[in-house]
Amino acid sequence: MTAGLDRKVKLFDVKHSNEMLEIKGDEKPNFNNVKSATKSRKLQGLFIPDLPVYSAKFILDGQQAILTGNRKHFYTYHIERNKLERLTVGKLEQKNLSGIQVANKDYISIASTDSGEAHLFSQNTKKHLFSLKMNGSCA
C-alpha cells in the first residue's frame, strides 16, 4: 500500500522473487535485472478528496486499512467491499490526526500532534474508547 499528500492510496499485489541482487566489488547495482519489481501489479486505487494521507496502516489482518492526515477526521477502507468510511472523534478542537499506531488486534491509537491528545479506538467497532491529554505535543 502506498499513500501520500496527493490524496491517493494505491494497493499492490507484491510477489517476491528468489532472485538475489549481486554486487561485485565497486560495481553500481543494476536494478533492471531484478524481476520482482515487474511482478507487482496495482490492485486498487483510491482518491480521497478531503484528506491528504499522512499515515496508512493495515488493520484486522489486512482486511481493512486506516488512513489519517492533518484533518479532524480519518477514514477506514474495507478492501474486499471497496467501502470507504469517514470517522470523527466527538467534538475535537485539534485539526491534526496524523499519527497512528496499531497497538494489537483489538485497538488503534491515533495521536494528535498539535494538541497533545492520544485517542484509543476499537478496531472492530471503530468506536472511540477514550482520550488521553498530555502536556505538550505527542507523535
Domain CATH code at residue 128: 2.130.10.10
Is residue 20 included in any domain, yes or no?
A: no
Phi, psi of 18 (to 5 degrees): -80, -5
Tell me which of 51-55, 73-77, 109-113 is least confident.
109-113
List the grid coordinates of 94.
485539534
In a domain, 22, yes or no: no
Domain membership of residue 138 (yes or no) is no
Q: Residue 83 sits in which domain range?
A: 2-15+28-133
| pTM summary value | 0.70
Higher pLDDT residue, 114 or 11? 11
Q: Is residue 139 part of a domain?
A: no
Residue 124 lies in a domain: yes
Q: For the segment 86-103, what is each residue's pLDDT rounded down to a tens digit?
A: 887 766 566 677 777 777
Residue 101, domain member (yes or no): yes
Does residue 32 surpass a pLDDT of 80?
no
User: According to the model, what pLDDT value does residue 23 have?
Assistant: 58
- Contact (CB, 8 A) for 109 and 119: yes
Number of domains, the chain: 1
Q: Are 70 and 92 in contact (CB under 8 A)?
A: no
Secondary structure E strands in the chain: 2-3, 8-13, 41-47, 53-59, 64-69, 73-78, 83-88, 99-102, 107-112, 117-122, 128-133
Q: Is residue 9 part of a domain?
A: yes
CA distance 67 to 126: 13
Q: What percentage of the chain has pLDDT greater than the value 90?
A: 3
* Residue 23 within a domain: no
